[in-house]
A and B are shown apart, each in its own frame.
Chain A
Amino acid sequence: MVPLSWYLLVAAALFCIGVYGVLARRNAIAILMAIELMLNAVNLSLVAFWRYLHPAVTTGQVFALFVLVVAAAEAAAGLALIISIYRNRETVDVENIDLLKG
């Protein structure tokens, strides 16, 4: 049996990788993808907890499902925003999007 903590560690690692991506990538879409990574990491730990702690009820699965749903919606909205920004600024490099600078 794989110990729960292993799954959780993986999830934690994935999450941290996502954090790094969000903080360190220049391309807006790349950042979105990193966010999806983080959400996936969360899903992973959710499922892990369900499997190891309360496998009888469906709650864990449902939660993970809903997380996915939210991720999808958020991705859609995020992409729409990126498109709009691209139309205005001709770029998706977030280093160039600093209107709030100062």
Chain B
Amino acid sequence: METQGTILPLLVALIPWPPFIAFGLIALFTNRWKRLSHTLAILSVAISFVLSQIVFWTAIRTEHLGEHPIAIRIPWLPVGPRPLEFGVLVDPLGAVMLFMVPLVSLMIFIYSVGYMAGDPYYSRFFALLSLFEAAMLLLVVADNLLMLFIGWEVMGFCSYALIGFWYRKPSAYRAAVKAFMTTRVGDVLMLLGIAYLYAQTGTLNFHDILRNPETLKTLAETPSYVAGLSVAALASLLLFAGTVGKSAQFPLHVWLPDAMEGPTPVSAMIHAATMVSAGVYTTIRMFPLLQAAQYGLGGETAFWVVALIGAFTAFMAATMGVAQNDIKRVLAYSTISQLGYMLAAVGIGAYVAAAFHLITHAFFKALLFLGSGSVIHAVEHGHHHAGRGHGHEEPFDPNDMFNMGGLARRMPVTFWTFVAGGLALAGFPLITAGFWSKDEILGEAFHGAFEKGELLPLLVFLLLATAAILTGFYTMRQIALTFLGEPRTPAAAHAEESPGSMIFPLVFLAFFAVFGGFVGVPEGFPVLAALTRGNWFHEFVGGTLLEHPEALPFNPVPVVLSSLIALTGLFLGWAVYARRPLAVGEPDPLIRLGPIYTFLKNRWYIDDLYQIVFVRPTLWLAERAVAFFMDRVLIDGLLHGIADAVWSMGSALRLFDRVVVNGIGDGIGEAVKAAGRELRTLQTGLVQNYLLVVVLGVLGFIVLYTVAPMLRGF
């Protein structure tokens, strides 16, 4: 595999490092100095941004970047016949990711300075955010599944740490744990997939697996002995499981709305622009595997699974978003929904469309989150200025849209940028980036359904189209409730526009939300295609694959259809919420939907279901079976038993020591003493006694010398 000289690949390899170093420095040294911390963090992201831009602009000028990506690798772990390697790879897909990620991240970092000002754990925030950034960049430049997974997991940790950033708040840390646990399910399956793939191919390198027709063919034809699937299909599904977790798709979507407990920049960064996109990015990366699988054993199963989960999630989340009152939660469900769009696109083979939507969505979703943060910030401060919020009355939720209203006048920049983002999200025709990317997906689905008559695209189309209507609806609802009409609370009445550090990123991102779509204008689009010189995005990113995917011939029907759908949704939303904005105390008109509303508001009761089926039994098990029984009864019992046994042994030995050993010792002593005592009586001190004994001795001798010989005569 050729490399583009060695400077460029080295630059690529350097990209993840500045934020990582920033993390280290902040975590270890600069905790006390807030300005230094944020400066380090922003600087590091800026450096990565500059490097990424250099790489990007070089990359798009490179011919056949897909075949000859910017890459370099070095051997690392010597396992098996081929060592696992460290390496970087920038192909077209990677290039556009490199364009988007540092840019959006930089905006969010800058925004955080304003948003997090005054927070006591300011430095810790930037440290974690930097670590997260490093991990995401690592994931983007990685050239193999292992490095990708490392970045994946580190991001997971940072997500946990940042969701639970305000750890004193019970809802926050519970949300963090929920996020971590739920994504863990996906992560485990993904790791299985990675291992499986490695076992089957002996490598994890993207280029070696995904651009190698023989490998792909072998994988597709080797049976996995599971449900009649080929290795390729099974591996794809296992890897997709990781995405289901990380990108919050059904059934592992439950963590993302709760993750809104984290600070808004976190929500913007991790849960809109980057981490959740990483899941989709991985699936898009592994597209060739899915593609190969469809020709092998098990056929299109993998595609079906991906597409249906994606489409269903898109629909489901959109319905849930409609009934939410928390401004951030609406956006969370929206994110889930849009990610579903991307995966559905992959599922029907619309590779480039999926990537396109991924990029545009990152921009406008980040924009929307930052905008919501601006609103929340303003309303909170308004609450204080209105003389409340000093702990005397009922708790005030600054996130609740029903506590807002009329902010358009008070926060114009926030308002207009938010509108830009919202329209992009809804897919407002022509002038929003979201329109172009969403349109491409719907177009592909339409093509597959109605022009090729396939079932899967049809299902996808129907689900996505419905979701699109709902998207427009809830977007308009959100805008109306938040910005239009009159302020419904004193807090909203006292809200003020946010500081420059927060405004600037909004404007910057709004630019991309509006104009970003023009890089992907389909070929043959009247007027505009000529202006943008065709679909650059499709041309460029399509080159990532072995076979450049065909661009669809221009068909006005899906375009008009998707325009209509978007407009319908928006109109409905306007009709209900904006034509006559809600006044103070007026309830949500949706309540008239009765049980449907309740069902949606409670998120289809899925969270509650999981709570009963998974969480409570696990907690019970942990508490009763493990903590109580195994730990206290068994382990502690064992320990106490051993302690008691040793104690008894010790006591016995002590007894032995006391009785026998001491006994002998003392006994000897006593014996000697007694002997001494007895013998001492001999020492009467009276000389005459001694003399008596002497005479006795003499007598004895006499006997010996006289009597004895006489006796011997006998």
Contacts and interface: CB of A to CB of B under 8 A. Distances in A.
Contact of B683 (A19, A22, A97, A101): A101
Interface residues of A, number: 13
Contacts of A99: 685
B683 A31 contact: no
B684 A94 contact: no
B527 interface: no
Contact of A100 (B685, B691, B692): B685
B686 interface: yes
Nearest to A19: B695
A23 interface: yes
Given A22-B691, A23-B692, A23-B695, A102 B686 contact: no
A90 interface: no
A95 B683 contact: no
Given A19-B695, A23-B695, A102-B680, A31 B685 contact: no
Contacts of A97: 685-686
Given A19-B695, A23-B695, A98 B685 contact: yes
A22 B691 CA distance: 8
Contacts, number: 28
Nearest to A16: B695
Contacts of B687: 94
Interface string A23-56: 1100000010000000000000000000000000
Contacts of B688: 22-24, 31, 94
Interface string A82-96: 000000000000110
B695 A101 contact: no
B47 to A, nearest CB: 98
A30 to B, nearest CB: 11
Contacts of B680: 102
B695 A102 contact: no
Interface in B681-699: 683-688, 691-692, 695
A89 B687 CA distance: 16
A102 B691 contact: no
Contacts of A95: 686
- Classify chain B's interface size: 10 to 19
Nearest to B676: A102
Contacts of B686: 94-95, 97-98, 101
A56 B152 CA distance: 138
A102 B683 contact: yes
Nearest to B689: A23
A100 B692 CA distance: 17
Contact of A101 (B685, B691, B692): B685
Residue of B688, B692, B695 with most partner-chain A CB within 10 A = B688
Interface in B638-695: 680, 683-688, 691-692, 695
A86 B692 CA distance: 24
Nearest to B687: A94
A100 B684 CA distance: 7
A50 B257 CA distance: 142
Nearest to B680: A102
Interface in A1-35: 19, 22-24, 31
Contacts of A100: 683, 685
Interface in B386-437: none
Interface string A45-75: 0000000000000000000000000000000
Contacts of B683: 100-102
Contacts of A102: 680, 683, 685
A98 B689 CA distance: 11
A31 B684 CA distance: 18
A102 B680 CA distance: 5
A101 B686 CA distance: 7
Nearest to A98: B685
A99 B683 CA distance: 10
A23 B689 CA distance: 7
A89 B683 CA distance: 20
The residue in B680, B683, B685 that gathers the most chain A C-beta atoms within 10 A of its C-beta is B685
A18 to B, nearest CB: 11
A23 B684 contact: no
B581 to A, nearest CB: 119
A95 B689 CA distance: 10
A73 B685 CA distance: 26
Contacts of B692: 23
A58 B683 CA distance: 45
A2 B302 CA distance: 152
A98 B691 contact: no
A94 B688 CA distance: 8
A38 B44 CA distance: 123
A32 B578 CA distance: 146
Nearest to A20: B695
A78 to B, nearest CB: 12
A102 B691 CA distance: 17
Interface in B601-658: none
Contact of B684 (A19, A22, A101): A101
A24 B688 CA distance: 8
B537 to A, nearest CB: 118
Contacts of A31: 688
B441 to A, nearest CB: 117
B28 to A, nearest CB: 80
Interface in B35-61: none
Contacts of A23: 688, 691-692, 695
Interface of A: 19, 22-24, 31, 94-95, 97-102
18 contacts: A19-B695, A22-B688, A23-B691, A23-B692, A23-B695, A31-B688, A94-B687, A94-B688, A95-B686, A98-B684, A98-B686, A99-B685, A100-B683, A101-B684, A101-B685, A101-B686, A102-B680, A102-B685
Given A23-B688, A100-B683, A101-B683, 5 more contacts: A23-B691, A94-B686, A97-B685, A98-B685, A98-B686
Interface of B: 680, 683-688, 691-692, 695
Which 4 A-B residue pairings sit nearest by Cβ, starting from the closest?
Answer: A98-B685, A101-B685, A100-B685, A23-B692
